[in-house]
Amino acid sequence: MSVEPEVPIVQVEEVRENPVLYKIISSDNHVFTISEHAVKLSKTLWDLITNLGLTAENALDNPIPVENVNGKNMETIVQFCERHKYDEEEPEYTNYIREFVLPEWDRQLLSIDNEELFQLILATNYLDIQKLMDYCCRVIGDMAKDKTPEELRIIYGIPTDAEDDALERSASDSPGPSG
Amino acid sequence: MSQTSRNKNLLLSTPYLFQRQLFDFLSLKTRLNLRKCSKRCQALVDNMPLTIDSLEIFASRSVLIKSKSEIETNDKIVNSYSDVTEAANETRRFFVGGDFLTSEDYCELLSCLKPEKLQSINFLGIITKDASHKIALLEQIKRVPTIIFFNTLDRVPFEILSNTPKFYIPVENFSKFEFNRVVEQYLQRDNFVIGRIVVRKERMEPWITAFLMKNAAVKTDDGSMTVTLEGPKFKNTVNVGERSILFRRTI
């Protein structure tokens, strides 16, 4: 990777016991450093690192471009992964409803508006970070607790059937790619 | 929390894997409420599996819907009873009954449940002959391993038990003809395991005593009598007590 973007590097806490760091470049050219333990929480990134053959020696010289995730989301993701990198694996679950209390630190981190949360979910899904996915689910699931259908429609921005029909009609009326 | 646009909807536009996971965090009540938001929401909810250990729908003067972690005492959250089984499609033990349920209701409710997930169907009220005939045709009834009746019926509903390995039925009357039907047909069926007919012994006299004597019944510790029957395919025992008959496969 020869081009170094001219943007500030977002530093994360240095890990004394594990000095291996990787560089990630977001879609808007922000550069992040992330420790090996933290990056392992993302299956996509870790697979990429493994396939590229990055090692402790060459990792920082070869930033990994992630074109589907912008800097804002990447910052949240890096913070999350660094925070949870030494967590024990959660047991498999089989029954609904999944019960766990979202730690306060994470609740704060995920206290963002629906639009941002939506983008974060897409990024989390792309990077395949199971724990963050769980936490996003908990946040969105909690929004629905004890709410009426009308309240749910507002919270989640669910269109009514009439709105859905109108949008579908206007989509089919609009010219296609060739028109 | 601001609203999202149609294309960036937290519920409807997120990746399937996320939606699938999200639904693990939504209770039955929330799912039922979501179903009422729009047709798209309804389709989404119905396509998401919901495994519930035990679900009860009792529709009488008031409607009771109970699942493991929730209790609802009114029907305001559903448009029809089958909304519940549509949403809780992977229920394991299903309890159903109540005067308000028609034979169509029973069929609708049961047919929404995945037969391969059902472990038992428990009838809480009296079932009419008409309902019994219709229910008997359902895949769910033919495949469920256990059927239990909680109320005393006039007669054994044979059509409902046509393929049930385990059953429990309280009845007012149990004739010699019905008894023979169980012995000759049910006890020789491949999948039969155990069945209890709850009926007072005095209602079966004198033919039940004649049966016990003819087959060299053995008295057990609790005072009941047990007969071992060797059939063409399987060996079973018939235990006759004062209040019930227990049929059990031995080999």
Q: What residue spans define the domains of chain B? A: 49-172, 174-251
What pLDDT score was predicted for residue B60?
74
Give the number of residues written for chain A: 179
Interface contact flag, B3 A167, Cβ < 8 Å:
no
pLDDT tens, A67-82?
Answer: 999 999 999 999 999 9
* Mean pLDDT across chain A: 84
Per-residue pLDDT, B175: 94
| Rounded Cα–Cα distance for residues A136 and B110 (Å) | 34
Which of A57-61, A94-98, B71-75, B155-159 bottoms out in mean pLDDT, i.e. has the lowest? B71-75
Q: In terms of C-beta density within 10 A (0-12 exposed, 13-18 middle, 19 or more buried), how is residue A2 classed?
A: exposed
Token reading at B49? 């599996």
A38 has pLDDT over 70: yes
Answer whether residue A149 is part of any domain: yes
Q: List chain A residues with CB under 8 Å of B4.
A: 114-115, 118, 156-157
* CB neighbour class for B214 (10 Å; exposed up to 12, middle 13-18, buried from 19): exposed
What's residue B90's pLDDT?
82
Restricting to A residues 77-136, those with a Cβ less than 8 Å away from any Cβ of B are 93-98, 113-115, 117-119, 121-122, 124-125, 133-134, 136
Give dist(CA A27, CA A74) in Å, integer: 9
251 residues of chain B, pLDDT tens digit each: 444 455 567 788 888 988 988 888 888 888 888 999 999 999 999 888 887 888 888 877 666 666 654 545 455 555 566 777 777 788 889 999 888 888 888 998 899 899 999 999 999 988 888 889 999 999 999 999 999 999 999 989 999 998 999 999 999 999 999 999 999 989 999 999 999 999 999 999 899 999 999 999 999 999 899 999 998 899 999 999 999 999 999 97
Q: Are strands B63-67 and B51-59 parallel, antiparallel or unpaired?
A: antiparallel
Tokens 């009540």, located at residue: B29
Residue A88 banded pLDDT, cuts 50, 70, 90:
confident
Q: Using an 8 Å Cβ cutoff, are B39 and A160 in contact?
A: no
**pTM exceeding 0.80:** no
Q: What is the pLDDT of residue A5?
A: 46
Higher pLDDT residue, A113 or A173? A113
Chain A residues inside the 8 Å CB shell of B17:
125, 133
Range of the domain at A55: 9-171
C-alpha to C-alpha distance for A147 and A153, rounded to whole angstroms:
10
Q: What is the pLDDT at residue A14? A: 46
What's the confidence (pLDDT) of residue A124?
A: 96
- ipTM over the 0.85 cut-off: no
Tell me if A176 is assigned to some domain.
no
Residue A4, pLDDT above cutoff 50: no
Tell me if residue B126 falls in helix, strand or coil: coil
For range A156-175, the mean pLDDT = 83
Radius of gyration of chain B (CA): 22
Chain B, nearest residue to A167 by Cα: B6
Of B17, B26, B29, the CB nearest to A125: B17
Q: What's the one-letter identity of residue B32?
A: L
Angle at alpha carbon of residue B1, lines to B44 and A108, rounded to 5°: 105
- Which two tokens mark B210? 């004649």
pLDDT at A23: 94
Are the C-beta atoms of residues B226 and B215 closer than 8 Å to each other? no
Is A57 contained in some domain? yes
| Cα dihedral A115, A120, A121, A122 sign | positive
Return the DSSP state at A60.
Answer: T
Out of A96, A115, A149, whose CB is closest to B24?
Answer: A96
Distances in whole angstroms, Cα of residue B62 to Cα of each of B29, B58, B73, B98: 17, 8, 7, 9
Mutate to test the interface with B, among A158, A161, A168 (most CBs of B within 10 A): A158
* B61 to chain A, closest Cα gap in Å: 24
How far, CA to CA in Å, does B106 sit from each of A127, B89, B135, B141, B189? 46, 15, 7, 11, 27
Provide the angle, in degrees to the nearest 10, between the axes of the packed helices A149-156 and B28-35. Answer: 80
Residue of A nearest to B92 (CA): A95
Are A158 and B21 in contact (CB < 8 Å)?
no
The predicted pLDDT at position A31 comes to 95
C-alpha angle A14/A18/A20, rounded to 5°? 80
Domain total for chain A? 1
Look at the block and give the residue holding tokens 């006299």: B205
- What average pLDDT does the segment A87-103 reach? 72
* pLDDT for A170 beyond 50: yes
* CB B26 within 8 Å of CB A137: no
pLDDT of residue B27: 83
What are the residue ranges of helices labelled H in B191-245?
207-214
For residue A63, the domain's CATH number is 3.30.710.10
For residues B218 and B226, the answer to whether their CB atoms sit within 8 Å is yes
Over residues A142-159, the pLDDT tens digits come to: 999 889 999 999 988 899
Closest CB from B4, B6, B26 relative to A114: B4
